[in-house]
Amino acid sequence: MKKHVIFLILVALSFFTIMPAAAQENSEPTSFWWNDRVFYEIFVRSFYDSDGDGIGDLRGVIERLDYLNDGDPDTTTDLGITGIWLMPVMQSPSYHGYDVTDYYQIDEDYGTLEDFRELISAAHERGIAVIVDLVMNHTSSQHPWFTDSAAGDPDTAEWYIWATQDPSYVGPWGQPVWHQRGDRYYYGVFWDGMPDLNYRNRAVTEAMYDINRFWLEEVGVDGFRLDAIKHLIEDGQVQENTPESHAWMSAYDDFIDSINPDALTIGEVWSSSYDSSDYVNADEVDMTFEFDLATGMVESARQGSNAAITSMQERVVELYPSNQYATFLTNHDQNRIMSVLRGNNDAARIAAALLLTAPGVPFLYYGEEIGMEGMKPDERIRTPMQWDATPVTAGFTTDDQPWQPLSTGNEDGVSVAAQIADPDSLLSTYRSLIHLRNNHPALQSGDYLPIDCGDRDLYAFLRQHDDETVMVLLNLDEESITDYACTLESSALSGEVATLLLFGAGDIAAPTLNESGGFTDFQPLPQVEPFSITIIQLSAAS
């Protein structure tokens, strides 16, 4: 397998928790092309409207690529994004696209396959990889596969999960999962408009393989974000993370390797870190999204305490192969980070630093970098991107009305235009941190070493990669800190250390190392300012 050198896990045992001790056997740093990337999640409908119909489209994404990355490594005015995740772009009857009716066509609201191929070409010219959302667990109830199956077509009769009597049990979060169609019932874990495919039927698997091959070979995507993979195959009332789902994903991984060994697969497993890491450790996907870690980041930024992030980050580092998980703050299914932080711009800057200095591969939800707000329902966390202060449209469209009303605040500085030239803006913070990460291998794929500074308001750690070591010191709170002392048990450092301030302000002291490369009672700064972000390069003194 292409991805990880890891002990073999029997498929029949794949539902057992991968404990930290097992993962530690695979702690040797391993880096892949995605470890050098910072990804940006785009909801095409809300990013930019190129034709004035009030709906974002693929050509709109092309027109705004220079905002993400202008392709010139010598400039710092772009955001520095090196990867894009596009939420579903395939034909669908719904605004969100997670119920597909045609896996081979672009949704007519967004454009054409030629537009999509042009987007990939333009992105690649700028050094941006493109992955797309692939919804394999279910289709739309309007998909011809389902309508034919419901009508009794023998070719698709067993492509979905049917019952002649209502099994009547509910889903993992208490929702109805059996839905009536005529005198029969079909299974759909999310709702009746999304019937689950039956992957015990080999023909369904082959059809899905053909779809994957099409997007990799004929369209040229760099990989897939795989929606809801923990639900692929149910075992009666056991509806998440079953051994059969793991076995199917293992075979799927082999198939993807046979098409393109470098294609990225990243799974959505909205479960505990223990469940999520199973899919990576068993070599079923390259990465999964780390929901527990995201909660830890957001809670530490919100509370001004390192309690949530410290234990969670250490657990995640132990559970996964080195850096092979995706980090994020919030996504399209969650209340936006700025709303969770109640508009606290300082806390939002800290959240950005937690994301962009951490191990793993960071994913940034569009608009997060300018502090867009949004609370559920879902449409209100997926509102149009706020490009400028234009009332009603925010520069998103030339139409009188965008497809969805704006999130509040575009006239109060929550726009790209208002922040792009302001060195103290949230956008500038994100931009600086992303460019810093892009230029420092230690921040991209270095090991993580926790530092204890004896204060719950301080969060500190080292990132080490080959010959580069970077120290990160974050004051999560609104008060300055002087009474602290940082301790590190050991590191790869040795001898006399020189310091170089990469981000932040102040006169930085150098640590005195012990025989293990660690230090005690170290104060990088005599006073750590409120909500400050300090990033220091440590190297051998000349």
Q: Which amino acid is at 461?
A: F
Query: What is the rounded distance in angstroms from the CA atom of residue 7 to the CA atom of residue 23?
Result: 9
Instruction: Report how far apart, in Å, the C-alpha atoms of 523 and of each of 260, 462, 496 are.
Output: 49, 14, 16
**Which residue among 107, 234, 253, 268 is the active-site one?**
268
Which residues neighbour 264 within 8 Å (Cβ) at sequence distance 6 or greater? 33, 34, 129, 131, 222, 223, 224, 286, 287
The string over 56-93, giving b where at least 16 C-beta atoms fall within 10 Å of a residue's C-beta and e elsewhere, is bbbbbbbebbbbbbbeeeeeeebbbbbbbbbbbbbbbe
Q: Could you give the angle at the alpha carbon of 121 between the alpha carbons of 119 and 123, nearest 5°?
A: 65
Q: Is 94 left (phi over 0), alpha (psi -120 to 50) or beta?
A: beta
Question: In whole angstroms, what is the distance from residue 401 CA to residue 346 CA?
Answer: 32
Contact between 3 and 283 (Cβ < 8 Å): yes
Contacts within 8 Å (CB) and 24+ apart, 461-467: 461/313, 462/488, 462/491, 462/538, 463/357, 463/359, 464/491, 464/492, 465/29, 465/441, 466/441, 467/539
C-alpha torsion 333→337→340→343, nearest 10: -140
3-state secondary structure 361-399: EEEEECCHHHCCCCCCCHHHHCCCCCCCCCCCCCCCCCC
Identify the three-state secondary structure at position 255: helix
Distance of CA 248 to the CA centre of its chain: 23
Residue 257 a catalytic site member: no
User: Which residue in 404, 298, 307 sits closest to 350, CA to CA?
Assistant: 298
What string of DSSP letters covers 151-210? TT-TTTTTSB-EESS----B-TTS-B-EEEETTEEEE-SS-TTSPBB-TTSHHHHHHHHH
Whole-number Å distance between alpha carbons of 319 and 518: 24
Question: What radius of gyration do the chain's Cα atoms show?
Answer: 24
Q: Is 369 a catalytic residue?
A: no
Q: What's the chain's length in residues?
A: 542
Helix (H) or strand (E) holding 250: helix 243-259
- The span from the CA of 245 to the CA of 381, in Å, is 30
Catalytic residue among 66, 227, 257, 314: 227
For residues 541 and 476, is the Cβ–Cβ distance under 8 A?
A: no
Q: Hey, which residues are catalytic here?
A: 227, 268
